């Protein structure tokens, strides 16, 4: 979707400051938010990585820009818990279970945590899907204006580039975020000249490689 989260190529956001010896978590509560997120994800329900990203995009723009990284995670987690009927909004606000609410055995125990943290789910799919494009082919990114989730950055829409690699078949994030199917398809590394993206003032030898799904591309 279009929003303040799609910051690629935007000016006025201030310098990017590199923090030396940056800790994994700056405050203990950040670690708790991360842990709760992993536990909820392991417990199933109506959620996936793409939907989680989309829920971040749905945060009010002023909040998104004001919040730190894990403040956004916390806000998203609260919305997920209510949307998946794990808790009610009142329970979330008060911190107390509603009278007569069902009790459930925990799906994640302390003994399960090390394997759960080490395990990484893959979006790659071993599906027999024919590629629409091939390495060396010139393509153009579609000029779309989606209301839902997309991984096609705004600054690349309508721009032309060259496919330099076919990564294989992966879940399509736009449909997966909406729970309307994985729609597996090929993902390519597409090279865009900096001047194609930013105009004649960009350095002539610079380029950007962007991973793009079949549905993001047309023949140039």
Average pLDDT, the chain: 91
Q: Show the CA angle centred on residue 169, arms to residues 34 and 194, nearest 5°.
A: 80
pLDDT for the residue numbered 30 = 98
30 backbone dihedrals φ, ψ, rounded to 5°: -65, -40
Q: How far apart are CA 1 and CA 152, in angstroms?
A: 9
- Say which DSSP state 156 is in: G
3-state secondary structure of 191: strand
- Looking at the predicted structure, is the pLDDT value of residue 187 above 80? yes
- Sheet containing 185-193: give its strands across: 207-213, 185-193, 160-170, 138-141, 217-219
pLDDT for the residue numbered 204 = 95
> Among candidates 168, 179, 156, which has minimal Cα distance to 50?
179
Q: What value does the mean pLDDT take over residues 111-140?
A: 91
Rounded to the nearest 10°, the torsion over CA 161, 122, 109, 82 is 50
- Looking at the predicted structure, is the pLDDT value of residue 175 above 70? yes
How far, CA to CA in Å, does 215 sit from each of 183, 186, 218? 10, 9, 8
**Residue range 28-85, pLDDT digits in tens:** 999 999 988 888 877 666 678 899 999 999 999 999 999 999 999 999 999 988 887 7
Q: What value does the mean pLDDT take over residues 8-34?
A: 90
pLDDT for the residue numbered 83 = 83
Domains plus CATH for the chain? 28-118 (1.10.472.20), 138-219 (2.30.30.50)
Instruction: Find out whether 137 and 162 touch, Cβ atoms under 8 Å.
Output: yes
What's the pTM value of the predicted model, to 2 decimals?
0.87
């Amino acid at each position: 979707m279009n929003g303040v989260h799609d910051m690629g190529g935007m000016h006025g956001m201030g310098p990017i400051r590199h923090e030396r010896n940056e800790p994994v978590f700056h405050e203990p509560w950040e670690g708790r938010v991360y842990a709760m997120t992993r536990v909820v994800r392991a417990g199933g329900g109506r959620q996936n990585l793409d939907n989680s990203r989309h829920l971040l995009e749905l945060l009010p723009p002023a909040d998104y820009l004001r919040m730190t990284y894990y403040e956004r995670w916390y806000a998203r987690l609260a919305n997920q818990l209510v949307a998946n009927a794990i808790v009610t909004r009142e329970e979330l606000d008060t911190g107390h279970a509603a009278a007569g609410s069902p009790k459930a055995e925990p799906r994640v125990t302390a003994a399960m945590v090390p394997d759960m943290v080490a395990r990484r789910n893959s979006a790659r799919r071993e599906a027999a899907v024919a590629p629409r494009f091939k390495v060396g082919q010139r393509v153009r990114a579609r000029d779309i204006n989606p209301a839902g989730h997309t991984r096609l950055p705004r600054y690349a829409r309508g721009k032309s580039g060259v496919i330099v690699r076919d990564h294989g078949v992966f879940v399509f994030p736009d449909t997966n975020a909406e729970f309307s199917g994985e729609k597996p398809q090929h993902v390519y590394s597409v090279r865009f000249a900096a001047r194609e993206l930013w105009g004649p003032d960009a350095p002539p030898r610079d380029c950007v490689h962007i991973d793009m799904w079949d549905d993001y591309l047309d023949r140039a």
